[in-house]
Amino acid sequence: MRIFDPHIHMTSRTTDDYAAMAAHGIQAVVEPAFWLGQPRTNPGSFADYFDSLIGWEPYRAAQYGIRHHATIALNPKEANDPRCRGVLDLMPRYLDKDGVVAVGEIGYDSMTPVEDEVFAAQLALAIEFELPALVHTPHRDKATGTKRTLDVVKESGIEAGRVLVDHLNEVTVGLVKDSGCWMGFSIYPETKMSPPRMVQILKEHGPQRVLVNSAADWGKSDPLLTVTTANAMLEAGFSADDVDLVMWRNPVEFYGQSGRLDLSDIDKPDATFEGSSILRGGS
């Protein structure tokens, strides 16, 4: 079984997580730029973070044979802080980089007018840089947030097939399916979407245009929940091919639209990382 986690925040995870993921068949990940918990106070903090997403993290992942790509954006929550607005000016520099396979995560947190503006501006960047877009849906008032998200996506003129709308559930899946966008589901250990609920959604809606991720970050989360969900699919009678479609081919097709997804030599660790001596061992 090969697994591609299309949304995971490895910056917040340990090297033990990389080792466990590799041991369970997770061979590729996409790490979206997001909110780090501590509010950032200037665009320079974002520049260092973006550099880490395209430099240090791919290197760290490669030590375990995992291919790492990133998405770049000003996240919806920090979009509300005027001190962070300059991040939009930094983005073109990063959207040109090889390891960047989408603009994201963008979308709504509290659905403020500023979020509207920043969301639209970043969809325009996705069009300009010919990149797909990863769109986060708010955790509160999900149905309203998702409807409004789909309206903004439509108004932007970006092709629906180049948009992944994430953190969906039973209430929002139908809306996104009808829109033609790709459907993302984040599986969590306790709250929100669980593996059995995900299997049920797959039974009702099928595996086409569906991506499953762990969204693991600094909160309570589990980077192996993609694997648990894949096994739950098999136990529920889905074929190995269905599992491969959801867990590998769908993310490859979606992010492959960037023209930058590099999955060649997937199990050859990179030899060096500029500016760093060695990661492995640590003793």
Binding residues vs Zn ion (CB under 5 A) = 34, 215
CB 162 within 8 A of CB 133: yes
Provide the sign of the torsion angle of the four alpha carbons 141, 144, 148, 153, taken in this order. Answer: positive
Residue with Cβ nearer Zn ion (38 or 272): 38
Q: Give the shortest CB-96-to-Zn ion separation in angstroms.
A: 23
Q: Give the shortest CB-7-to-Zn ion separation in angstroms.
A: 6
Q: Give the shortest CB-242-to-Zn ion separation in angstroms.
A: 25
Residue with Cβ nearer Zn ion (105 or 242): 105
Closest residue to Zn ion in the complex (CB):
34
How far is it, in rounded angstroms, from Cα 101 to Cα 242? 24
222 phi and psi, to 5 degrees? -145, 115
Q: Give the shortest CB-99-to-Zn ion separation in angstroms.
A: 17
How far is it, in rounded angstroms, from Cα 62 to Cα 68? 8
Residue with Cβ nearer Zn ion (44 or 219): 219
- Closest CA relative to residue 273, chosen from 28, 62, 1, 125: 62
Residue with Cβ nearer Zn ion (63 or 102): 102
Q: Give the shortest CB-220-to-Zn ion separation in angstroms.
A: 14
Residue with Cβ nearer Zn ion (185 or 238): 185
75: left (phi over 0), alpha (psi -120 to 50) or beta: beta
